[in-house]
């Protein structure tokens, strides 16, 4: 059974290790970009997941959106391409949002690799999913630091699009968030279908255990068994502020954090 080791937190003196075990995918490649990690699935031509740290200091309005969509040269088997999305009717939907990476030009540009894209319906990408991404930024401000894992639910026989590759079109996406409070941890997960009704974001909350069962991944094995079990089996909405507000901080970042 293949496995993947993900390093979250790019500071040399401090990082968290997330260990995922693949049980359902036959093709995987770990790609470490400067500010996020992804696991590319060649069979589906999209990422199984992306993971990154989002902290207070990164939420700075330093650079504009680049729109520099391009092939990811780090994917040894070749990533999806612009032709795979051209005329498809789908948005090139980010997994790591460009809006989370406005603190340097490199951070922004690296979100536009096609390895970080999936085909998403416009109303989903620009609607409820985008609102969920903004809530994550609000939480990063409020709680100072969160760790985010995002991905599609990839199943056999998904519809595909693409002129150069057969890119799977997922119809469900997950987002898992972890934060540390002293020696304890809080976790929460969201599961959202691309054909979502207009509901409060809290209505899409589920347990991390549920996402693990759907995705085939085992998250957060760096935690002790008792803490991991507690964090992953509950979905305590009262531990998270769904009314948190967000505004970018003034730019103070250096050219390259």
Task: Indicate which residues carry an active-site annotation.
Answer: 94
CA distances from 111 to 107, 187, 220 (A): 7, 25, 24
Contact in structure between 145 and 53 (CB atoms under 8 Å): yes
**Run of H or E including 132:** helix 128-143
- Cα dihedral: 134, 137, 143, 144 (round 10): -170
Q: In what order do the strands lie in the sheet with 46-55?
A: 29-32, 37-41, 46-55, 145-152, 172-181, 184-193, 205-206
Question: How many CB atoms neighbour CB 75 within 10 A?
Answer: 19
By the 10 Å C-beta count (0-12 exposed, 13-18 middle, 19+ buried), 110 is classed as buried
Sign of the CA dihedral running 155, 157, 163, 169: negative
Structure tokens at 69: 């969509």
* Residue 189, strand partner residues: 176, 206
């Amino acid at each position: 059974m293949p496995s993947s080791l993900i390093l979250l937190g790019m500071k040399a003196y401090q990082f968290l290790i997330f260990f995922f075990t693949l049980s359902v995918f036959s093709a995987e490649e770990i790609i470490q970009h400067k500010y996020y990690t992804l696991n590319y699935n060649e069979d589906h031509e999209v990422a199984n997941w992306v993971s990154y740290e989002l902290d207070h200091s990164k939420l700075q309005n330093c650079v504009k959106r680049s729109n520099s969509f391009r092939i990811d040269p780090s994917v040894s088997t070749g990533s999806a391409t612009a032709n795979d999305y051209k005329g498809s009717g789908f948005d090139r939907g980010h997994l790591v949002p460009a809006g989370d990476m406005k603190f340097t030009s490199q951070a922004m540009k690296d979100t536009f690799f096609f390895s970080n894209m999936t085909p998403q319906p416009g109303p989903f990408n620009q609607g409820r999913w985008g609102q969920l991404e903004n809530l994550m930024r609000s939480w990063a401000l409020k709680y100072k630091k969160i760790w985010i894992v995002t991905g599609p639910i990839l199943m056999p026989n998904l519809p595909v699009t693409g002129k150069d590759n057969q890119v799977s079109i997922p119809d469900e996406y997950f987002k898992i968030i972890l934060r540390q409070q002293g020696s304890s941890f809080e976790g929460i997960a969201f599961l959202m279908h691309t054909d979502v009704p207009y509901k409060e974001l809290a209505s899409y909350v589920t347990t991390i255990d549920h996402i693990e069962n759907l995705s085939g991944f085992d998250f957060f094995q760096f935690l002790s068994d008792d803490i991991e079990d507690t964090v992953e089996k509950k979905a305590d909405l009262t531990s998270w502020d769904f009314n948190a507000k967000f505004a970018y901080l003034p730019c103070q970042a250096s050219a390259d954090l």
